[in-house]
């Protein structure tokens, strides 16, 4: 028999404060992620943020919800992202994933969206028959350094014994790459790197179409889902800790000291994302800055769905990529969510919308 327990904002706060979330064989949520969920300005006091599934009184799985909204014709249209879904191997075949999902659909009246999901999860969503693949984003992943010692054993575990050789090969290759990139210097134009969005930037980005405003982005910067630490949270399947996890708010100016581009960068263990980019005339200079940032911080790879930026990068002579490949981000919308939205609706998502900027 499956029993479900739901948590709204107040209940989730109490769950974390009491320490009860740690009493199970695995964690249903981390403290920092719960605190961030509770501070989400798009979450009402009544909305359910976490659902636990118990089988014969043992925690079997959980699902996390991340409320969001659109403004359509001046009115708020609420929905939620499915941010986590996990079922312990001990309870496979007990129909727990479907039970959790049906409860989510019930709580949010079918207004559910999903992105950045695993292939295993996608198979489940397909079987459910209630989602449609919509609004895909074409992107690129650019590589700047070799990382054979990490990538090859992950794909072929039998090669782990050869890790020392891969490390030597990486060191030799990256030394040559560093020599090649030594020509990339600090840009001569004015730029600033901040820890959060300032007033000047807020005024600048207010002129752009964006699902998130400055205050909301700052709130999530200050309340991250991932903390910097050498330790690992083996009891939690999703992201909890990373050796490096930093947000950078970047401002780029023209020769007249006029702000022309702003961007949020997220660097995690050598891998870079661009959750937000706002620019009309400063993209070229932003690419020059980005090239410098990548070399200075020894970035291994950048994943970008910023299509205009990617097109400009294709023509750049300074961008230090050694290899690139196409990427695609899919968004699954519940059919009820699509039905409730206006015809030909375009969410105009940036790379960081949904829960993407949090991991």
Residue pLDDT, tens place only, 91-139: 988 999 999 999 999 999 999 999 998 888 889 999 999 999 999 999 9
Mean pLDDT of 1-12: 96
pLDDT of residue 232: 75
Classified as helix, coil or strand, 148 is: helix
With a cut of 90, say whether residue 26 has pLDDT above it.
Answer: yes
Which residue's entry shows tokens 């090969």?
Answer: 169
Does residue 179 have a pLDDT over 80? no
For the chain, what percentages of helix, strand and coil (3-state, to nearest 5) are there? 35, 30, 35
Q: Does residue 312 contact residue 287 with C-beta atoms inside 8 Å?
A: yes
Please report which confidence band the pLDDT of residue 288 belongs to, taking 50, 70 and 90 as the band edges.
Answer: very high
Q: What is the mean pLDDT of the chain?
A: 94
| Nearest in space to 80 (alpha carbons), one of 54, 125, 50 | 50
C-alpha–C-alpha distance, residues 324 and 228, integer Å? 28
Cα–Cα distances in angstroms (integers) from residue 126 to residues 19, 81, 87, 123, 178, in the given order? 36, 17, 17, 5, 45
pLDDT digit string, tens, across residues 204-250: 999 999 999 999 999 999 999 999 998 776 789 898 999 999 999 99
Structure confidence at residue 11 (pLDDT): 98
Are 281 and 260 in contact, with CB atoms under 8 Å apart?
yes
Please state the rounded mean pLDDT for residues 308-320.
Answer: 95
Residue 332: what pLDDT? 97
- pLDDT average, residue stretch 21-48: 96
Give CA separation, 109 vs 104, 258, 271, in Å.
8, 46, 37
Rounded CA separation 238/125 (Å): 19
Q: Which two structure tokens, joined as six digits, stand for 206? A: 């207010």
Q: How many helices (H) and strands (E) does the chain have?
A: 11, 14
Overall average pLDDT of the 7-36 stretch: 96
- Averaged pLDDT for residues 316-332: 95
Length of the chain measured in residues: 359
For the whole model, what pTM was predicted?
Answer: 0.93
| Interval 197-203 mean pLDDT | 98
82 exposed, middle or buried (CB, 10 Å; 0-12, 13-18, 19+)? buried
Q: What is the pLDDT of residue 239?
A: 86
Digit-coded pLDDT (tens) for 52-88: 999 999 999 999 999 999 999 999 999 999 999 999 9
Q: For residue 319, is pLDDT > 90?
A: yes
């Amino acid at each position: 028999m499956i029993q479900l327990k739901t948590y709204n904002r107040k209940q989730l706060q109490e769950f974390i404060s009491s320490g009860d979330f740690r009493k199970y064989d695995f964690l249903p949520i981390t403290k920092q992620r719960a605190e961030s969920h509770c501070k989400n300005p798009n979450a009402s006091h009544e909305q359910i943020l976490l659902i636990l599934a118990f089988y014969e009184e043992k925690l079997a799985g959980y699902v996390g919800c991340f409320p969001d909204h659109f403004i359509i014709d001046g009115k708020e249209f609420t929905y939620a992202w499915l941010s986590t879904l996990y079922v312990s191997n001990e309870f496979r075949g007990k129909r727990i994933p479907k039970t959790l999902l049906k409860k989510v659909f019930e709580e949010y009246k079918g207004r559910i969206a999903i992105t950045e999901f695993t292939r295993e999860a996608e198979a489940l969503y397909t079987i459910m028959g209630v989602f449609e693949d919509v609004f895909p984003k074409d992107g690129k992943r650019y590589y700047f350094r070799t990382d054979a010692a990490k990538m090859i054993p992950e794909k072929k575990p039998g090669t782990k014994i050869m890790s020392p050789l891969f490390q030597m090969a990486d060191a030799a290759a990256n030394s040559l790459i560093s020599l090649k990139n030594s020509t990339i210097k600090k840009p001569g134009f004015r730029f600033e790197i901040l820890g959060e969005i300032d007033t000047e930037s807020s005024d600048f980005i207010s002129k752009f179409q964006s699902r998130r405003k400055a205050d909301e982005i700052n709130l999530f910067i200050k309340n991250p889902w991932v903390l910097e630490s050498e330790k690992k949270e083996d009891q939690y399947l999703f992201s909890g800790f990373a050796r490096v996890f930093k947000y950078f708010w970047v401002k780029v100016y023209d020769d007249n000291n006029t702000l022309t581009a702003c961007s949020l960068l997220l660097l995690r263990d050598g891998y870079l994302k661009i959750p937000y980019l706002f620019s009309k005339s400063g993209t070229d200079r932003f690419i020059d800055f980005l090239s410098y940032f990548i070399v200075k911080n020894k970035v291994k790879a950048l994943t970008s769905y910023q299509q205009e930026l990617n097109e400009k990068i294709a023509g750049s002579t300074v961008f230090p990529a050694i290899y690139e490949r196409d990427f695609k981000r899919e968004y699954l919308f519940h059919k009820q969510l699509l039905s409730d939205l206006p015809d030909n609706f375009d969410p105009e998502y940036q790379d960081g919308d949904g829960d993407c900027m949090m991991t």
